[in-house]
Amino acid sequence: VKRRGRNGISRFVPQLRAAPASMLSLRGRMSRGLERDEFFTLFQPIASVRERRIVGAESLLRWRSSTGEMITPAVFIPAAEESGLIVPLSERMMTLAFAEAASWHREGRSLLMSVNLSARQLREPDICQRILAIAAEQGVSPGMVQLEITESVLMERVEQSERQLLQLKEMGFRIALDDFGTGYSSLAYLKNFPIDSIKIDGSFIRGLSRNVRDAAIVRTIINMSRDLGISTVAEGVETAAELESIAALGCDFYQGYLLARPIPGEQLAQLLD
Integer Cα distance of 25 and 64 in angstroms: 16
CB of 62 to ligand C2E, least distance (A): 7
Which residue lies nearer to ligand C2E by CB, 184 or 257? 257
Residue 246 contact among ligand C2E, Ca ion, none, beta carbon within 5 to 8 Å by kind: none
Taking the least distance from each CB to ligand C2E, the nearer of 108 and 267 is 267
User: Toward ligand C2E, which CB reaches closer, 71 or 132?
Assistant: 71
Q: Which one, 118 or 225, has the nearer CB to ligand C2E?
A: 118
Q: How near is the Cβ of 10 to Ca ion at its closest, in Å?
A: 13
CB of 108 to ligand C2E, least distance (A): 27
Residue 90 or 245 with smaller CB distance to ligand C2E: 90
**Contact pick of 41, 59, 90, 116 for Ca ion (by CB under 5 A):** 116
Question: Burial, 5: exposed, middle or buried (Cβ in 10 Å; 0-12, 13-18, 19+)?
Answer: buried
Strands 145-149 and 70-71, sheet pairing: unpaired
Q: Note whether 3 binds Ca ion by CB under 5 A.
A: no
User: Out of 82, 100, 179, 252, which residue is the one contacting Ca ion (CB under 5 A)?
Assistant: 179
Contact between 178 and Ca ion (CB under 5 A)?
A: yes
Q: Which is nearer to ligand C2E, 107 or 211 (CB)?
A: 211
Residue type, position 42, single letter: L
Interface residues toward ligand C2E, by CB under 6 A = 4-5, 44, 60-61, 72-74, 77, 90, 93, 116, 118, 178-179, 202, 236-238, 256-257, 262
Shortest CB 86 distance to Ca ion, Å: 14
Of 148, 151, 214, 252, the residue at the interface with Ca ion (CB under 5 A) is 148
Report how many residues bind Ca ion under the rule CB under 5 A: 7
Residue ranges in contact with Ca ion by CB under 5 A: 4-5, 116, 148, 178-179, 235
